[in-house]
Amino acid sequence: MPPGDGLFSGAGTRDVRALLEASFRAALAATDPAVLTAAHLPSAPPDAVIAVGKAAPAMLGALLDRVPGVPSLLIAPRGLGVPGTAATHTVLSGHPVPDENSVRAADAALALAAGLRADQRLLVLISGGGSALMAAPWGVTLAQKRALTAALLVSGADIGQVNAVRKHLSRVKGGRLALSTSAHITALLLSDVVGDDPATIASGPTVTDPSTFQDALAVLDRFAIRAPEARKHFELGVAGRLPETPKPASEPEGRVSNRIIGSGRLMLEAAQKFLRSQGVQAELLSAALTGEARDLAAAHARLVREARQRGRGPVVLLSGGEATVTLGARPGLGGRNHEFALALLLELGQHGVYALSAGSDGVDGNSGAAGAFLTPDSLVRARQLGLDADDALRRHDSGSFFARLGDRLVTGPTGTNLNDFQAVWVEADGP
C-alpha cells in the first residue's frame, strides 16, 4: 500500500493518537526479548547462565525453553513479576537505585561465575537496568553508593558518565564479572544506551573498560558532587594503589564474546515498518538523540515547522535515544519523556501536533506511566482546566500536567528496555 493511501491518510478523520500508540506497541512486539534471544543463542549449550536486567525473565525463558535445567541465576527488578521462569535462583532487586538485594545478586553472580572451570561455558544475558540490579560496592557502603547514584541521576550526567563512576565503585561492573571466572563467556545484550556500546550497557560486567579512576573523579568534579568516600577511593585508584578495571589488552582473545541482539534503532525500524503498512509516511530521524529533553523538543519543533512549510505530510517523524533532565529542588512528577512532550507542546503553542513520547520499558521517571500524548488541542484543553504549562515545565511536574489532561500512556513495565520512543504526526500546511 503506498504511503498516504491507507487508513490514516488524513488527520482529523481517524484516531491518530491510537495509530501512534499502535506503532509503539508494534515496535515492542517486534523486539520481544524472548524472540531476539532465541534467534541468537549459541549452538553449544552453556554450563550456567546469568540473566540480569529488565528483560531478564524473557531472555532467560528463551534459553530454558531450549535447554531446560541449566544452572541459572535470574536478576530482575522488584515489582516486575517473574511469571513462568524456572531459574535455579532468582533475586529481585532495586531499580533505579540499588538495594540490599542488588548486593546479594552481585555476590551470587560472582560466585556462580567463579565456580566454573576453564573448559566450561557461561552464558550472560544482559539488558537495561543491570547497573542497579547487580551492585557490589567497593570503596563505599551501599548507602553511600545509593546516595551517589541518586545524585548522578538528577545531575544531568549521561549514562556513560554515570557508568564511569559506577564501574570504579564495583566488584562486578566494568568487566570484573568476566575477570572473576576462567570459563568461556558468551554475552547477549539488549542495548538501552545511545551508540550501543557493550561497555556501557548495564555498566559492562563482561566487557573490558576504557574508562579510568581519573574519568570517574572528573564526573564528580563536573557535576559538583561531593561524595567524599567515593572521591577518596578514586584518588587511591589514580595514585595506582587500587587495581584498575580490566582493559582491552588484558583479555585473552576469544574467551569472551559480547553480542548486541537488540537496540533502539531496531525498535524504531519496526515502528516505521508498521506505519508504512498502514499507508502512512514514516521518517526515522535518529535512534541516538541525547541532550536535555527541552533542547530535543525545540529541535523537533523546528523539524515540524520545516516539514509543514515544505508541504510534507501527513508524515510521522520517528526518533529515539536517551534525553537527560537536570532537576531543580523539589521536582514534581514526571520523566524525560513527559518533559519532552510538555516542552514540545510549548514550543509549538497553538500550532500543535499529535505526538507520543514514551519509554520502551513502560516506566518514565516517577510518573507512573510510560509517557505522554500530545494532540493539536492539548494547550487549549489545558487552559480550560486551569493548567499552567510553563509553570509545570519549570517545576518539572510534567507527569501531573498530563495526568490532569488524561493524556498519559500507561502500560506497566513492558519487560524490555530499548531506550525512548518519539513519534510526531505532521500535517502539511494548508494552501
Q: Domain check: are 358 and 341 in the same one?
A: yes
> What is the residue range of 371's domain?
16-29+264-426
Which of 196, 231, 262 lies at the terminal end of a domain, its last residue? Answer: 262
DSSP state of 147: H
Same domain, 21 and 80: no
Last residue of a domain, one of 214, 247, 262: 262
CA distances from 418 to 85, 122, 205, 267, 297 (A): 22, 24, 18, 7, 20
Same structural domain for residues 139 and 150? yes
Q: Helices marked H in 292-414 — which ranges?
A: 293-309, 336-348, 378-384, 389-394, 398-405
Environment class of 383 (CB within 10 Å of its CB; exposed 0-12, middle 13-18, buried 19+)? exposed
119 and 221 belong to one structural domain: yes
97 in a structural domain: yes
pLDDT at 2: 34
Q: Which are the contacts of 249, defined by CB distance < 8 A and separation ≥ 6?
A: none
Q: Is 57 helix (H, G, I), strand (E, B) or coil?
A: helix
| Nearest of 45, 179, 46 to residue 109 by alpha carbon | 179
Centre a 10 Å sphere on the Cβ of residue 149 and count the other Cβ atoms it contains: 20
* Contact status, residue 261 vs residue 190, Cβ threshold 8 Å: yes
Inter-residue contact 402 to 372 (CB < 8 Å): yes
- How confident is the model at residue 154, as a pLDDT? 82
List the CATH number of the domain containing 48: 3.40.50.10180
pLDDT by residue (tens digit) across 357-372?
A: 999 999 999 999 999 9
User: Is residue 66 assigned to a domain?
Assistant: yes
Asked if residues 177 and 110 have their Cβ atoms less than 8 Å apart, the reply is yes
Rounded CA-CA distance 250/157 in Å is 29
Cα separation, 270 vs 114, in Å, equals 39
Strand 371-374, strand 281-292: pairing: unpaired
pLDDT computed for residue 326 by the predictor: 86
**Domain annotation covers residue 3:** no
Please report where in the chains the cell 493511501 appears, as a residue: 5
247 and 141 within one domain: yes
Q: Are strands 420-426 and 354-359 parallel, antiparallel or unpaired?
A: antiparallel
Distance in angstroms (rounded) separating the CA atoms of residues 294 and 4: 31
Q: Are residues 368 and 237 in the same domain?
A: no
What pLDDT does residue 138 have? 98
Q: Which residue has the cell 547497573?
A: 131
Residues 205 and 69 in one domain: yes
Distances (CA, A) of 240 to 73, 343, 365: 34, 46, 38
Q: Is residue 6 situated within a structural domain? A: no
- CA atoms of 397 and 126, how far apart (whole Å): 32
Put simply, whether the predicted model's pTM sits higher than 0.85 gets the answer: yes
Residues contacting residue 336 through CB under 8 Å, at least 6 positions apart: 293, 322, 323, 324, 325, 359, 364, 365, 420
**What secondary structure letter does DSSP report for 259?**
E
Query: Considering 230, 262, 294, which residue would you say is the last residue of a domain?
Result: 262
| Residue 60, pLDDT score | 96
59 phi, psi to nearest 5 deg: -65, -45
Q: What's the DSSP call for residue 170? A: B
Residues 214 and 329 in one domain: no
In this structure, the answer to whether residues 419 and 278 fall within a common structural domain is yes
**In terms of Cα–Cα distance, which of 417, 365, 413 is closest to 128?**
417
Q: How far apart are CA 85 and CA 253, in angstroms?
A: 34
Residue 8 inside a domain? The answer is no
Residues 113 and 214 in one domain: yes
- Beta carbons within 10 angstroms of residue 250's beta carbon: 11
Q: How far apart are CA 221 and CA 216, in angstroms?
A: 9
For residues 144 and 272, membership in a common domain is answered with no
Does residue 60 sit in the same domain as residue 164? yes
Q: Provide the angle, in degrees to the nearest 10, between the axes of the packed helices 398-405 and 336-348.
A: 70
Low-confidence ranges of the chain (pLDDT < 50): 1-13, 431
Amino acid 13: pLDDT: 37
CATH of the domain at 21: 3.40.1480.10
The confidence score (pLDDT) of residue 10 equals: 46
Residue that has been written with the C-alpha cell 572521591 in this structure: 231
Note whether residue 141 is domain-resident.
Answer: yes
Residues 6+ apart with CB under 8 A from 211: 163, 164, 167, 168, 174, 199, 245
Give me the number of domains the chain comprises: 2
What's residue 39's pLDDT? 97
DSSP 60: H
Those residues with Cβ within 8 angstroms of residue 119's Cβ, 6 or more apart along the chain or in another chain: none
CB atoms within 10 A of CB 30: 17
Among candidates 270, 356, 353, 267, which has minimal Cα distance to 313?
Answer: 353
431 within domain boundaries: no
